[in-house]
């Protein structure tokens, strides 16, 4: 009885395998999976419908390590060989190219950088910049005019400002009139009256204050019950 039961059990396990194997078509360069329900391709082959086809050699490295070999770039799930211009070189990993110094990349090609007069190539060599003292006008470099009594204020030499005690009017610097009893501000762009004097717009008038005093900031402080009317301290 026990032997009969074991025989039936073995048959129940083996027969489905024969049945599955008979139903699954295994192509050349393929084999059944571990369940016997489908086929898998051998190493170096990939599935294409009901067939196992050879994977091109330049794609093996990508499928195995996730990267394309040097000189190839990833295109979907394959690696395509790169053809680079004569004025270019491969990047460090070999999956792209960079243009040589003095050329820039455009539409898969390398075009020479046209450097105008009074300009130079940038550090990377893919564009140009104007020389010191020249301004970029799009396709050429224009010399910046620096008037008398002015100085450059940026590293490119394209912006300027008037010297201390001068003011900008148009494209020139004119000396600022400094009236008696006045001094220039810290930046030299305008004047202020000395202590004890106030400006009337053109010159400095001496302040004579009664019933009050002038503090160190040149501001009039009136005594109690007095206020400053612009000229003196008067009673409220």
* Residue 197 placed within a domain: yes
**222 has pLDDT over 90:** yes
Range of the domain at 222: 176-235
Quick one: pLDDT at residue 19? 45
Helix ranges, the chain (H):
2-23, 57-65
Of the chain, the end-to-end C-alpha distance in Å amounts to 130
Q: Is residue 189 predicted with pLDDT exceeding 80?
A: yes
The answer to whether position 112 is within a domain reads no
Tens of pLDDT along 4-35? 545 555 555 554 544 444 578 999 988 888 77
Q: How confident is the model at residue 140 (pLDDT cuts 50, 70, 90)?
A: very high
Contact 147, 171 (CB under 8 A): yes
Q: Domains in the chain: how many in total?
A: 1
Tell me if 82 sits within 8 A of 71, measured CB to CB.
yes
Q: Is the pLDDT of residue 60 over 80?
A: no
| 108 belongs to a structural domain | no
Domain presence at residue 145:
no
Inside any domain, residue 36: no
């Amino acid at each position: 009885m026990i032997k009969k039961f074991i025989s039936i059990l073995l048959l129940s396990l083996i027969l489905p395998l024969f049945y599955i194997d008979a139903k699954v078509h295994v192509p050349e360069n393929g084999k059944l999976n571990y369940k016997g329900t489908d086929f898998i391709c051998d190493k170096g082959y990939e599935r294409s419908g009901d067939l196992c086809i050879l994977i091109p050699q330049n794609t093996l490295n990508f499928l195995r390590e996730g990267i394309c070999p040097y000189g190839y770039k990833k295109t979907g799930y394959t690696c395509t060989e790169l053809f680079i211009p004569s004025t270019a070189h491969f990047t460090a990993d070999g999956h792209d190219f960079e243009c040589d110094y003095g050329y820039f990349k455009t539409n898969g090609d390398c075009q020479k950088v046209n450097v105008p007069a009074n300009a130079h190539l940038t550090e990377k060599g893919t564009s140009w910049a104007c020389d010191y003292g020249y301004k970029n006008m799009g396709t050429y470099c224009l010399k910046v005019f620096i008037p008398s009594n002015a100085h450059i204020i940026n590293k490119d030499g394209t912006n300027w400002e008037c010297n201390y005690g001068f003011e900008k009017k148009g494209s020139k610097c004119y000396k600022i009139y400094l009236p008696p009893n006045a001094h220039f501000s810290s930046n030299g762009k305008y004047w202020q009256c000395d202590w004890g004097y106030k400006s009337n717009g053109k010159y400095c008038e001496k302040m004579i204050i009664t019933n009050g005093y002038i503090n160190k900031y040149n501001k009039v402080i009136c005594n109690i019950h007095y206020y400053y009317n612009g000229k003196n301290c008067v009673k409220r």
